[in-house]
Amino acid sequence: MYICKMEQIEFIRDFAGLGNRLQAYLSGALDVPDLDQAIAHSLGANPWYTSYCIKERLSSIVQGYLLAPKLQSWLTNYPDVWYAYQKDITVVMAGNIPLVGFHDYLSVLASGRTVSVKLSSKDAFLLPALHRLLCSFAPAWSYRLRYVLEVPVDTHGLIATGSDATAAWFTARYPHLPQIVRRHRVSVAVLSADIRQEQISGLQRDMFAYFGLGCRSVVRLFVPKEFDLMRLTVFEQCPDEASHLGFRNAYRRQKALLTLQGASFTDGGFFLLQPKEDLFPPVATVFYSVYTCINEVIDFLEANDSRLQSVVGMVGGFKNCINFGCSQSPQLWDYADGIDTMRL
Q: What is the pLDDT of residues 113-163, one digit of tens each?
A: 999 999 999 999 999 999 999 999 999 999 999 999 999 999 999 999 988
Report phi then psi at 194, rounded to 5.
-100, 25
Q: Tell me the three state secondary structure of residue 288.
A: strand
Number of domains in the chain: 2
Taking Cα atoms as reference points, which of 211, 271, 215, 267 lies closest to residue 241?
211
Instruction: Evaluate whether 297 touches 304 at the Cβ level (below 8 Å).
Output: no
Residue 291 and residue 250 in one domain: yes
The length of the chain is 344
Residue 213 and residue 115 in one domain: no
Distance CA 273, CA 189 (A): 13
Instruction: Evaluate whether 336 touches 344 at the Cβ level (below 8 Å).
Output: no
pLDDT at 3: 41
| Number of CB atoms found within 10 A of residue 253's CB | 13
Domain of 305: which CATH number?
3.40.309.10
pLDDT at 1: 37
**126 in the Ramachandran plot: left (φ > 0), alpha (ψ -120 to 50) or beta?**
alpha
Q: Tell me the three state secondary structure of residue 159.
A: strand
Residue 59 and residue 79 in one domain: yes
Residue 194 and residue 263 in one domain: yes
pLDDT at 310: 92
| DSSP label of 37 | H
Instruction: Evaluate whether 223 touches 259 at the Cβ level (below 8 Å).
Output: no
* Bridging pattern class, strands 308-312 and 321-322: parallel
As averages over each run of 10 residues, the pLDDT of the chain (344 residues) reads: 66 97 98 98 97 97 98 90 78 96 97 95 98 97 96 95 90 94 94 93 95 95 94 90 95 98 96 96 97 91 92 75 92 94 90
CA 267 to chain centre: 27
pLDDT at 2: 37
Per-residue pLDDT of 159-189, as tens digits, reads 999 888 988 999 999 999 999 999 999 999 9
Q: Tell me the three state secondary structure of residue 318.
A: coil
Does residue 343 belong to any structural domain of this protein?
Answer: no
Residue 12 and residue 107 in one domain: yes
Residue 202 and residue 155 in one domain: no
Does residue 339 belong to any structural domain of this protein?
Answer: no
Distance CA 44, CA 185 (A): 27
pTM: 0.94
- Residue 298: give the domain boundaries: 186-322
Q: In sequence order, which residues have a C-beta less than 8 Å from that of residue 253 and are 6 or more positions away?
A: none
pLDDT at 21: 98
Residue 156 and residue 200 in one domain: no
What DSSP string runs through 53-64? Answer: HHHHHHHHHHHH
Strand residue runs (E) in 13-134: 88-92, 114-118
Report in angstroms the alpha-carbon separations of 302 from 30, 42, 215, 306, 308.
Answer: 47, 38, 18, 9, 10
Strand residue runs (E) in the chain: 88-92, 114-118, 145-147, 157-161, 179-182, 186-190, 218-224, 266-267, 272-275, 285-291, 308-312, 321-322
pLDDT at 179: 95
Residue 68 and residue 41 in one domain: yes
